[in-house]
Structure 1
């Protein structure tokens, strides 16, 4: 099966369709719309692994009860600059937004803040929430753990997740420099995309369950991802696992359940959101101008032969968002998955898409 792209679909139509599906699963209208918006945002910047393709799994878990229909988590510790939220297995996008708002608010008072979240569900792309923090004049750091997916260098047992981390800083321009990465050589979502398409994966992405290199996507799913940059990626992933899980009082390592495992078992990951208010250190304008200057320095640096443009960290995704013109190109398999998920709750996804084309 080839990974054929569908026609580009306007983001509002996709958001409305997904929101209707989530409402059909019991979410309130506002919560459903926010979660849908954050998923579609990933497709708009070309990160299909964290977008619409996740909806069938989300629906399965909502219907099984391992994801709750709560619109927010419960604050269980509040020491002003330090907060711990028990997400109660609510949609990750909702508790991530809750944590972001609290982190920004408290950093405005204290210069920096940290919000740890336990019993959390998948929240999509970490970079989206780091950018939300940067949009408000703060440096944002967002991290999460996952179930064990990677072996230690030389090992043949999965010990830690590919635990994503994102960092974003404000600049005086419309683009804020950003790093958003899982700490494996590649995200599991890309391997799942390859498996769906029947495509091979590059060597160095993953190993099979015995620890041997593989280019077979399905063997990789049953096996383990390889850490980015070997021991460096493994070490950073381990520390994120320990920090996010340890500070929140939540799950660490194998205590996090597989995202695509038993739909009745809560995922139960742990998150950490940190906001550093720039104005407590230097002038916000000064920082933003210096950030923009550094971006320009990267863009204007000498290019290697055959290279048309050099991008600053996060700029390629930014350009993707700008060039999308509010439309997302969805894989045919992902679109069919969305349609099928809609049918389980009485939502005709094609109606939303066809209305757009009329």
Structure 2
């Protein structure tokens, strides 16, 4: 059992808000966490993919009103989008009766419909929390390479072998493409979307070139944009936007794209073992994406994540700007003896960041010239958690 850092935040939000939406990809552990929390208080759990549980909500207002003294957990809530209008009325009625918080916990696979519906009808009544796969701060340093190879989905990470983990991820990808995405978004041919997802894995950490993807898929640029939007909304792909402040430089304007879970990226590329991964050209980009996901997950609420690149070659892999602070410049190296290129120093001269950090796969922090600190991912994550 892996204790998730996000659990304390979820408990806090339930104590502060009438409704909380816990969003994240399937199989990331949302249901397990919700049931654990439900066991600590009066609660009722409904899985809306179950015919029996959906039948209980044939008259949703009557059923939910009869449980107004409990935390009602609604799993896969996107299956009943018309429910949100009912929830609004019940929340307001409970508020007038003096029960202002801890009424509903909504679990969803981050569908566009879920975000749209809850945004329209529960504005001011709902808090959102995103649950990501297990990250590099939630395992011991000895297990970090296993987490990087297998990814952070619990069933993949805790599988009995690399082979079993790979099989789980292949089945996950197949079921997402053939069953889940058609339920959550527009109808897209599963094979086309799989090719696009695989192209993104090959392109890990690269600048988005929609025209190139469109030519490869035989579709137009707008279609590629819609495919990417869908995978981003489902929290399967990250679109890292470029830094856009006016620094008097010609800045790169295209975003960088990452398959968010490293294990899914490796499964799309057929990399089942550490030996295969370390011998593949994607190894550095995969490590970069893995580190970025961990550091963003550790960042305080309101932190803005970007990268920085100018036409002249100044570049920083990750800029994290916590609320009220100057950006942190973070360079990511898959080497025990990391060497910084001139472009990083030029970029720091442009931005004058608050911290200059190099992440490497070693265990001990050490300083470099020009106020740069080399540190493992765990040390950088703890710095961010303390903000």
- TM-score, length-scaled by structure 2: 0.25
Higher relative contact order (CA 8 A, sep 6+): 1
Larger Rg: 2
